[in-house]
Structure 1
Amino acid sequence: MVQARGWLLLTNDDGIEAIGFELLVKALHEAGYPLAVLAPSGNHSATGMRINLMKPMAFRARDDLTEAWGLNPHETPVHLFELDGTPCDTMIVALDGGLNHLVPGVHPQLVVSGVNLGPNLSQDAYHSGTMGAAREAGLYGVPAIAASFTSFDPEGMERAVDATLEAVAKAVTVLPLRAQNLGRPHGALDTGYFTSWPKSGADERWVVDPEAALLSAFANGDVMLNVNAPGTWNGEWATTRLGVRWYRNAVHFGDTTEGSTATFTIGAASVDHAAVPSGDCDAVEEGKASLSCLAVWPQSHPFALDEDLLAHGLERTVDGWPRWLING
């Protein structure tokens, strides 16, 4: 069968049977995207980029979900697998040879991680398994989108799925059908968009055409996209950076009796929000879907994106989309 579209590789951190993942798989399948799924078998929320080293991880085909979710693999290809591992484990296994072992010949165009139940805004970027999987895909040279619903109540989650489909549609339009940098076969590419730190000054190659440089960075896995959509999404988009929010009173101290072990539980915190220009938290509070262009590699790494170039990623169209993504 000749594929009119590139393959999407899907994962999440809530587990393969999570409602947000089911809704996303169904929607992408209905839209005609060939899908390869390798998702955690259980919930691995807030595991960041944790991986299992030297520990065998079982995987299973989930053909039962193909039937339960009403998918038609004869019309549009779809392969569902689960792994007893973390979100990052799924990406390492898939992109370091496992996907070709499970489904020979499948070469992803794009990774989509989500849709997560709960926001991944501001410093959530450090804790999120959803974002960790997308970042891991980037480390392997594959463009990736992380997507989240900003409520912990699944009611209205379809809005975040709709937003994710819009972002995927924009991305696949500007990307080659196969990720060209999968496995980073050429090592450190002479891209012209990496930071010059600790030296000062920008590479003239990206200065001439910053939009082309950002698109190239996305295609090479050096930047990723992070979508956050509220249940009250009004259909509008905002191109954003990470905002500022603080989790307060995040630790609950358990009651103890003599001779028992004390318990501490992290969660159910109150959240303080500080407004910043183009912040993702601010966009969501306005009922918009937030789309952030984030560097995959950490600051001071030789592959980190030039910060002045990353600032160009905030330039938006009249519809709120990143200009580099639309003009690409």
Structure 2
Amino acid sequence: MRTYLALTTAAAVLAGVGATAYAATPAAPAQDARPLTGLRVLISNDDSMRAARANNSDGLGLYELRRALCAAGADVVVMAPWQVQSGKGTAVTNGGVVTAQRRTTLPAGYESDCAGAPSQGAVFGVCLADGACADDTPSATPADTVKLALRGGLKAKVGWSEHPDLVLTGINSGPNVSASVNDSGTVGAAVAAIDQGVPAIAFSSSGDATNTFFPLANYRVHADFGARLVAGLVERDLLNPAFALKVDYPDVSAGQRAKAPVWTRVGDGAVVFHDFRQRGGAGGDTFDIALGLCPLDGSGAGECAEGRADADSTWLLDKGHVTIAPITWDRTYGTPVDARRELNRVERYVRHDAPRP
């Protein structure tokens, strides 16, 4: 049985709904606990930068990731969608204008996390508007925000004349595994980064047992693990833009512990699928969009069947491990020849030396 799937709605598996952000202000780390000093990091996501919903699904994970990276010494800038953009994949906006609006009042508890960093952890929301972003202004997509940042946005807004050293996306509210990876804006934003020649990692966290609420505890342990993972990759010179890494973290909100990181592949089955339900019987032109849930006991057939023993969904959802999988920018069948050596080096690190949860 998949332990996370006591779902009340299948829709929550991909995106979830809502959250009010809060956090205890962390103690300042000792100087020798700042292994990322000098590393410049762009953070984006597909959940927006609002962190205002009561179930923590609209960007709280982004602020936890920002906190952990700044505590480790990184210089962090956030450029994220103005509105929730879950399920946008690698979608981009091909015309019009965008506005990158700085957030001056941050969620309670996160105001001073990056006060000592050169860029002070600046947070920008990116909307589709010629002027100020309002509450109901349409949003740029996750890939839009990364492309904007790397093609002039960071230089214009914070003075970075060169690309950041690393792009991090997430932490997403809910896992991104199996077929859902292609829909994920969190993963899509990471793909946009490696498409521009910048290393990237996409982070996603499971929700609680209902997967409709996304506890701060899950985001926090994932963010702290993520900062240590980045430090290990940097120390071993394992960051490169040949592929992105996808890191999914299991639910630990009930006191359970995440199991050791496992090197996986994206599953070839599905956990959820899009289901279109016709209104008004045969002949109607209108369809409701819903998300169907695959059988929870692994008995699914067709698109629900999982054929890979090293599938991310199996090791995350069934076995409770942190899962790490490579994502290539060109989506070719198999592994590109020019990335095999780098993939093997990172795989060895994950299997033997990656930080424990």
Instruction: Tell me which interval the TM-score lies in, with the shorter structure as reference length.
Output: 0.7 to 0.9
Q: Contact conserved, 1:91 with 1:136, CA < 8 A, in 2? A: yes
Q: How many residues align?
A: 278
CA distance in 2, matches of 1:255, 1:311: 48
TM-superposed CA distance for 1:242, in Å, is 1.4
User: Does residue 206 of structure 2 align to residue 150 of structure 1?
Assistant: yes
Structure 2 counterpart of 1:312, from 314, 329, 344? 344
Structure 2 counterpart of 1:226, from 226, 241, 246? 246
Structure 1 residues 161-214: Cα deviation after superposition (integer angstroms, max 9, x where no partner): 233223222233244xxxxxxxxxxxxxxxxxxxxxxxxxxxxxxxxxxxxxxx
* TM score, norm. by length of structure 2: 0.68
Structure 2 counterpart of 1:86, from 125, 131, 141? 141
Unaligned runs of 5+ in 2: 1-35, 51-58, 128-139, 296-303
TM-superposed CA distance for 1:112, in Å, is 0.3
Secondary structure of the residue aligned to 2:351 is coil
The residue aligned with 2:131 is none
Instruction: Pick closer, same or farther for the CA change 1:309–1:32 going to 2, 3 Å.
Output: closer
Q: Contact conserved, 2:42 with 2:78, CA < 8 A, in 1? A: yes
The residue aligned with 2:100 is 59
Secondary structure of the residue aligned to 1:60 is strand
* TM score, norm. by length of structure 1: 0.74
Structure 1 residues 194-244: Cα deviation after superposition (integer angstroms, max 9, x where no partner): xxxxxxxxxxxxxxxxxxxxx4xx42x121111011114524110111123
Instruction: Pick closer, same or farther for the CA change 1:79–1:67 going to 2, 3 Å.
Output: farther
CA distance in 1, matches of 2:151, 2:339: 30
Secondary structure of the residue aligned to 1:13 is coil
Structure 1 counterpart of 2:191, from 130, 135, 138? 135
1:261-276 equivalence runs, <5 A: 262-270=286-294, 272=304, 274=306, 276=308
Structure 1 counterpart of 2:63, from 19, 22, 25? 22
1:102-181 equivalence runs, <5 A: 102-105=157-160, 107=162, 108-151=164-207, 152=211, 153-155=213-215, 156-158=217-219, 159-175=221-237
The residue aligned with 2:27 is none
The residue aligned with 2:39 is 6
Unaligned runs of 5+ in 1: 176-214
Instruction: Pick closer, same or farther for the CA change 1:311–1:257 going to 2, 3 Å.
Output: closer
The residue aligned with 1:196 is none
Instruction: Pick closer, same or farther for the CA change 1:141–1:248 going to 2, 3 Å.
Output: closer
TM-superposed CA distance for 1:316, in Å, is 3.2
1:65-84 equivalence runs, <5 A: 65=106, 69-76=110-117, 77-84=120-127
CA distance in 2, matches of 1:314, 1:106: 29
Does 6-15 or 271-280 show the bigger shift? 271-280
Instruction: Pick closer, same or farther for the CA change 1:259–1:244 going to 2, 3 Å.
Output: closer
Q: Contact conserved, 1:273 with 1:281, CA < 8 A, in 2? A: no
CA distance in 2, matches of 1:106, 1:154: 37
Instruction: Pick closer, same or farther for the CA change 1:263–1:238 going to 2, 3 Å.
Output: same
The two structures, once aligned, show a CA RMSD in angstroms of 3.1
TM-superposed CA distance for 1:292, in Å, is 1.1
Q: Contact conserved, 1:51 with 1:88, CA < 8 A, in 2? A: yes
The residue aligned with 1:283 is 315
Greater RCO (Cα-Cα under 8 Å, separation 6 or more): 2
